Structures are given as C-alpha cells and as structure tokens.
C-alpha cells in the first residue's frame, strides 16, 4: 500500500520562528517521487518541490529547506524565519514511477500552518 | 504560459441534478488529472488522461461520474444525479507527461455544494 502521513494537523508559530513540517511515506516501489505543495486560503495548490527517490541530497531554496531520508521514509520541510504569508495548508505527496504509472499523486492530510505577527 | 483554469469556480445545485465542470490545462501539457478534496483532507485522485485517452480511474469514481477529454485539450467532469456526499472541491491538474519531469500544476478548483 502507498500512503503519506502528516501527523501534525495544525501548527501555530510566531513570526520569525523556524518551523518543521513532518512527512512520512510508505511505498514498496524503488522508484518514486515526493512533492510538497502549498494551499493558501485562496485554495489553489502551489507546487514547491519535487524530489526523486534516488536523490537524497537536501535542498535549500531561500527560507525553505527539505530533508529527505530514505532510511526513515521521511521528507520533512523546514521554513526558516517564518512570515505571516507562509500561513497555509501544506501537503506532502507521493507519486510512484511517474511515467509508467501515470504519476497520480497520493497526498497526506495536510498540515495547517498559522504564522502570527 | 497561463496556468490551469477551471470553470465554474463555484457551483450550488440541488440533490439529483446533473453538473458539469470544465478544465483547461496548461498549453501543450499531455496529461490531465482530476482530484477531489473534501474539507480538512488532502486531494484524492479520481482519474487521468494522456492526451485524449482516459488511462486510469479510481474506485472513487462511481458510475455517476464521467470525464472526457475529446480532443486532448480541455476536459469535462460530469456528475449525474448529485448527492450531498458529492459536495467537495474538484481540482484539475496538468503535466507535460515526459518520463523525467512530471510535476503537476493545479488549477483553482471548482467548489461544489449539493443541497
């Protein structure tokens, strides 16, 4: 079975705090992709990052960073010096062998992040 | 490129009525996906198209649901004899459909309320 678990339903922080959103996935596939999407109050899912299963290098993009660890099946997302505009629901998603299997996304339940001024 | 567009953005209907939603993908994207998202949950896959061919359907897609992509461009999702349980956000996404790059870009969604 393929599954994504985001155990944190809601997180509330004060502006400028660092915050980490956890994501744990389950799959038997050796080839897969992991994604993070942001869903602001407007509702549209915004793509943040894609990582394939063969690339365990951590990635940093501005205030965002991602930690991928195959040994623990985790793909955590950290926002450094959070801002009010970061308030949104964040989804982690899993996609098996994209080209051969259509690339459908399996989403976690999401973590609602609230950043207060 | 313009993004994925969906119409209408909101639809309120009475139980038993039929509704149809439209999705226009990003130009030259070969794959088109439909997802459903209920309150407090992540999106759930419904179906996807590679060009005009519908290649996979989730068991969530009951017989009352039908999706088409007649010319490999825009797609429609129809729900017949709507039920209150169909109330949800219906999201459309598109991707290039290449082997190494398959990021899905989402539209703003159509929020359906069945009274």
- Specify the range with the lowest mean pLDDT, choosing from A73-77, A88-92, A112-116, B102-106: B102-106
Average pLDDT over chain A reads: 91
Which segments of A1-117 are extended strands (E)? 3-5, 10-14, 19-21, 24-26, 32-39, 46-52, 59-61, 64-69, 74-79, 88-96, 106-107, 111-116
Apex CA A94: angle with CA A9 and CA B92, to 5°? 85
Which segments in chain B show pLDDT lower than 50? Answer: none
Pair of tokens at residue A36: 């993070």
CA distance B45 to chain A (A): 7
Is B11 in the A-facing interface, judged by CB distances under 8 Å?
no
As a whole number, mean pLDDT of residues A53-75 equals 91
CB contact under 8 A, A4 and B50: no
CA distance A116 to chain B (A): 21
Closest listed residue to residue B80, CA positions, set B19, B21, B10: B19
CB contacts, 8 Å: A104 with chain B: 33, 45, 48, 56
As a whole number, mean pLDDT of residues A61-68 equals 93
Residue B106's contacts (CB-CB under 8 Å, 6 or more residues apart) are A37, A44, A45, A46, A47, B4, B91, B92, B93
What DSSP designation does A57 have? -
pLDDT at A102 over 80: no
pLDDT by residue (tens digit) across B46-62? 999 989 999 889 988 88
**Would you say A106 and A93 are in contact if contact means Cβ atoms under 8 Å apart?**
yes
Confidence of residue A99 (pLDDT cuts 50, 70, 90): low
CB contact under 8 A, B102 and A33: yes
* Chain A residues 77-116 within an 8 A CB cutoff of chain B: 91, 93, 95, 98-99, 102-110
CB contact under 8 A, A44 and B55: no
Closest listed residue to residue A21, CA positions, set A85, A70, A80: A80
Mutation for A interface: B34, B40, B103, most A CBs within 10 A: B103
Other Cβ atoms less than 10 A from the Cβ of A58: the count is 13
pLDDT at A101 over 80: no
User: Phi then psi for A99, rounded to 5 degrees?
Assistant: -70, -40
**Would you say B105 and B94 are in contact if contact means Cβ atoms under 8 Å apart?**
yes
pLDDT at A59 over 90: no
Percentage of chain A lying above the pLDDT 90 cut: 71
Residue of B nearest to A42 (CA): B108
Is A33 in the B-facing interface, judged by CB distances under 8 Å?
yes
């Amino acid at each position: 079975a393929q599954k994504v678990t985001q155990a944190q339903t809601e997180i509330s922080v004060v502006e400028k705090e660092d915050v980490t959103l956890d994501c744990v996935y389950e799959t038997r596939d050796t080839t897969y992709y992991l994604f993070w999407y942001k869903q602001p109050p407007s509702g549209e899912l915004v793509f943040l990052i894609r990582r394939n299963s063969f690339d365990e290098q951590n990635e940093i993009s501005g205030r965002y960073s991602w930690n991928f660890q195959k040994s623990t099946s985790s793909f955590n997302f950290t926002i450094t010096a959070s801002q009010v505009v970061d308030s949104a629901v964040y989804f982690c998603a899993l996609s098996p062998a994209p080209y051969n299997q259509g690339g459908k996304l399996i989403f976690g339940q999401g973590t609602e992040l609230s950043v207060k001024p | 490129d313009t993004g994925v567009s969906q119409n209408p953005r909101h639809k309120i209907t009475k139980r038993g009525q039929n509704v149809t939603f439209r999705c226009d993908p990003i130009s030259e994207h070969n794959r088109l996906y439909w997802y459903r998202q209920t309150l407090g949950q992540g999106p759930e896959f419904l179906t996807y198209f590679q060009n005009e061919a519908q290649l996979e359907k989730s068991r969530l897609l009951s017989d009352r649901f039908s999706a088409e992509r007649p010319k490999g461009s825009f797609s429609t999702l129809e729900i017949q004899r709507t039920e209150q349980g169909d109330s949800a956000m219906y999201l459309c996404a598109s991707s290039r459909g290449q082997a190494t790059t398959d990021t899905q870009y989402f539209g703003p969604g159509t929020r359906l309320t069945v009274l």
